[in-house]
Amino acid sequence: MTESIAETRAAAERPGAVKGAAPGGRSRVIALDVLRGIAILGTLGTNIWIMTNREGIIGYIDELNGPATGWMWAERVLQQLAQGKFLGLLTVMFGIGLAIQQASAQRGGRRWPGKYPIRAGLLLLDGLLNFVFIAEFDVLMGYAVTGLVVAFVLATSDRAQRRWMIVMAGIHVAVLTAIALAMVFAPQQNSKPRPPLDPNPFADGSFWDLVVFRVQNAAPFRVETIFVFAMSVALFLLGARLFRAGVFRPEGARIRKWLMLIGFGVAAPIDLVAGVAGGGDLFLFTRYGTAPFVALGILALVAEFYLRKSHVGFLGRRLTEVGRTALSCYILQNLVASIFCYGWGFGLAARFSADARVPFTVGMYLLVSLIIVTGAHLWLRRFERGPVEWAWHRSYQALAREKA
């Protein structure tokens, strides 16, 4: 998200930059933007369930282990369709963005990672502000740290990068395995139900109350960022390798075929069954285990689709616009949903009963998505970059002392 659309197009359309650039360049650019748009709206598909819970993320986590009755079955299925897949896709897309920036630097004769730490620092600041003022489940802070590490790894040999990817993936699998063993062999304890939040900053608090709540609980809210670090490094590096291997070019057909086979033929059925039937007990293993493989299948499917398709179409244009303003849309969609759902805004989450929560959440997702898609369309009719992208770009130019 942090590289501009102009940089992406330059990387895709530069003569000789990629084998087969003439026939595949345009399709690759389309696929990249569409995938960013899908990833952004897909993450909303997970986060919206947090927003529509009366107790926010606290209540959302509690309900993962709740009994599946009535609407809960529909809720579990809908949640599982988005859970982790678009987080994984977004992570891979960040890795692809790094590969594009590195290629651009190499063609321009610039050192790599060069001034990339400035970009990472700005992204970290964006994430910090997003975490404190908008969303306690922010991913930008983690991506900033991961991107900084991976930027230096990409400056090493191909063999070293492959080792890094394998080792970090191995660490992630080892951690998941250790958690699984602990769950199997740990003595079962009857835990008492958690008392309701009192006071409840999500339903009854002011905007500032939620800010204070996030800061006071920063440690537990940031645990996921630490937990997924190894996985994120591996997926960043995998995204860079797939991009270089031609996953968006015609000659990458074999890669796309295998990614779709593994993602949709193997991982997706396991993910859906385990996530719906296992509930909270298998949450970690689907979100951080099977879901990234499904994300790779989505990436391959979109790449294949736009290599075969001669025009973008209405839906593709709207997703492209969201992709071009991805950073702005990511922040804005959480802000808009907060205004509708939290007590400092319209407080709708507390007004709907549990029986109406599924249709309310689906309706809220569609409404927020419509606002985001329309906003991106109208903004790009007048401006080249999204508002956050513009501020980010100008800040980078000032700090890096680069001319506009």
Residue 359's contacts (CB-CB under 8 Å, 6 or more residues apart) are none
pLDDT given at position 294: 97
- Given a cut of 60, whether residue 47 has pLDDT beyond it is yes
SS3 per residue for 242-307? HHHHCCCCHHHHHHHHHHHHHHHHHHHHHHHHHHHHHHHHHHHHHHHHHHHHHHHHHHHHHHHHHH
The residue ranges of every structural domain in the chain are 5-184+196-400
Top-confidence range, 37-41, 196-200, 305-309:
37-41
Q: How confident is the model over 213-236, as pLDDT tens digits?
A: 999 999 999 999 999 999 999 999
pLDDT given at position 195: 83
What is the full DSSP assignment across 96-152?
A: HHHHHHHHHHHHTT--SSTTHHHHHHHHHHHHHHHHHHT-TT--HHHHHHHHHHHHH
pLDDT given at position 282: 87
The reply to whether omega before 387 is within 30° of 0 (cis) is no
Q: Tell me the C-alpha distance between 1 and 357, whole Å.
A: 32
Residue 325's contacts (CB-CB under 8 Å, 6 or more residues apart) are 376, 379, 380, 385, 386, 388, 389
Q: Tell me the C-alpha distance between 376 and 389, whole Å.
A: 12
Q: Tell me the C-alpha distance between 128 and 141, whole Å.
A: 6
- Given a cut of 50, whether residue 28 has pLDDT beyond it is no
pLDDT given at position 194: 76
Top-confidence range, 17-21, 30-34, 158-162:
158-162
Long-range contacts of 276-282 (CB under 8 A, 24+ apart): 276/68, 276/73, 276/76, 276/77, 276/80, 279/64, 279/65, 279/66, 279/68, 279/76, 280/61, 280/64, 280/65, 280/66, 281/65, 281/183
Residue of 197 and 91 predicted with greater confidence: 91
- Given a cut of 50, whether residue 18 has pLDDT beyond it is no
> Cα–chain-centroid distance for residue 290?
15
Q: How confident is the model over 138-157, as pLDDT tens digits?
A: 999 999 999 999 999 999 99
What's the whole-number mean pLDDT along residues 238-242? Answer: 97
What's the whole-number mean pLDDT along residues 353-361? Answer: 88
**Crossing angle of the two packed helices 268-278 and 291-308, in degrees rounded to 10:** 140
Exposed, middle or buried: residue 380 (CB in 10 Å: 0-12, 13-18, 19+)? middle
Q: How confident is the model over 251-278, as pLDDT tens digits?
A: 999 999 999 999 999 999 999 999 888 7
pLDDT given at position 94: 96
Instruction: Out of 6-10, 175-179, 207-211, 346-350, pick the least confident.
Output: 6-10
Q: pLDDT band at residue 404, thresholds of 50, 70 and 90?
A: low
What's the whole-number mean pLDDT along residues 11-24? Answer: 38
83, 293 contact by CB (below 8 A): no
pLDDT given at position 277: 84
pLDDT given at position 30: 85
pLDDT given at position 67: 60
The reply to whether omega before 199 is within 30° of 0 (cis) is yes
Residue 123's contacts (CB-CB under 8 Å, 6 or more residues apart) are 2, 140, 143, 144, 147, 392
Terminal Cα distance for the chain, rounded:
19
Q: How confident is the model over 90-107, as pLDDT tens digits?
A: 999 999 999 999 999 999
Q: Tell me the C-alpha distance between 14 and 169, whole Å.
A: 33
Q: pLDDT band at residue 309, thresholds of 50, 70 and 90?
A: confident
Q: How confident is the model over 104-123, as pLDDT tens digits?
A: 999 999 999 999 999 999 99
Residue of 291 and 71 predicted with greater confidence: 291
Q: pLDDT band at residue 387, thresholds of 50, 70 and 90?
A: very high
pTM of the predicted model as reported, rounded to 2 decimal places: 0.91
Nearest C-alpha neighbor of 51 from the set 319, 318, 335, 292: 335
CA distances from 20 to 97, 252, 299, 375, 389 (A): 20, 11, 20, 35, 30
Which pair of tokens denotes residue 52? 């529509």
pLDDT given at position 75: 86
Q: How confident is the model over 287-307, as pLDDT tens digits?
A: 999 999 999 999 999 999 999
What is the share, in percent, of the chain residues with pLDDT greater than 90? 76
What's the whole-number mean pLDDT along residues 297-319? Answer: 92
